[in-house]
Amino acid sequence: MILFFVLLTLSALQASDFLSMFTAQVSPDIHHLCLSILPTTSFHPLQSLLCGAPVQQPELKQLLRSTGLLHLFVVSGAHLIWLEHWLCRLHAPFFLRVLGWTFFSLACGWQPPVVRGWIGLLLMKMEPRWTPSLRADQHVLLTGLITLIFFPLWGNSLSLALSWVAAFSLSLSFPKGWKGELMKCAAVWFFLLPLLAPWSPASPSTIFVNFLLAPVFSLFLLPLGIVCVLLPPVLPLFDFLFSCFVRILALLPISSPEATGRAPTSWGLWGWVILFHTLTHFVSTSKRRRAS
């Protein structure tokens, strides 16, 4: 395992410049192509949902931020996992699925969160052969390290750190059922709080908002948005349902604390990441020793 990682590091250092140059040239064209095939909608959320473009409307962005649902509009590894799920349902061969992940990642601007998700998804398919004994949190750690090795300039990326921390939060063990889903929302809120607090502090009530509304969005609005690309006549239905979704958010009695406007430093970002990975390692080691 160590030898594999050393060889991967040396190879990645040689390939990182080429990858950065290649993706910088190819990604904008594919991103523009993604935007050009989208149907026009009054809210324009499809540009953010499907092509990774920033949310343009200040009111909508602030509403999503205050309710803790902005992550639904930020393309990340979760979108790739959703894409992989449907490609598997269609019985697509593995190489076509990889091409689908890659095209989607490039169409979204080759952003750090989605690239981290791309690497993690590829490792997930390789791990049964190469690293069969990795825990879920170790998989998150290996994915993040490989991402930084290939793209070292992302060491200052807040979006990469947020994606990394969110993936770690979801890698923890939770019971099945609605209690486990609620605990997942609470874990994500807790672990992201130190990183988000300086510029977008969230109220604890956003835990319940995510628990209640995020599945509705992921299961209905996001798939319907993809259907609109294939069948533009469905667009009025999407607009209507999305406007209802926004009105529901506006009615929620949620107020976030004032933000300081200071982004976390690099030491703060990665210090927090190293801290919880280290604590998880010691907790897991202690459990194994007690069990033996």
Dump the DSSP string for 235-263. HHHHHHHHHHHHHHHHHS---PPPP--PP
Work out the burial of residue 195: count CB atoms within 10 Å of its CB; fewer than 13 is exposed, 13-18 middle, 19 or more buried: buried
What is the model's pTM?
A: 0.82
**Within-domain flag for 223:** yes
The Cβ of residue 78 has, within 10 Å, a number of other Cβ atoms equal to 19
**pLDDT attached to residue 196:** 76
Only one residue has tokens 């999407």, namely: 238
**Within-domain flag for 1:** no
Low-confidence ranges of the chain (pLDDT < 70): 1-19, 22, 41-44, 127-132, 198-202, 254-267, 292
Structure tokens at 235: 């667009």
Give how many domains the chain has, as a whole number.
Answer: 1
Only one residue has tokens 């962005």, namely: 61
b/e per residue, 131-170, with b = 16+ CB within 10 A? eeebeebbbbbbbbebbbbbbeebeebbebbbbbbbbbbb
Digit-coded pLDDT (tens) for 144-182:
988 988 888 888 888 888 889 888 988 888 888 888 888
Q: How far apart are CA 205 and CA 186, in angstroms?
A: 10
Q: How far apart are CA 213 and CA 136, in angstroms?
A: 26
List the domain range (segments joined by +) for residue 113. Answer: 6-291
The Cβ of residue 270 has, within 10 Å, a number of other Cβ atoms equal to 17
**Within-domain flag for 32:** yes
CA angle 17, 159, 260 (to 5 degrees): 130
Cβ(59)–Cβ(250) under 8 Å?
no
**pLDDT attached to residue 270:** 83
Q: How far apart are CA 199 and CA 260, in angstroms?
A: 6
**pLDDT attached to residue 8:** 56
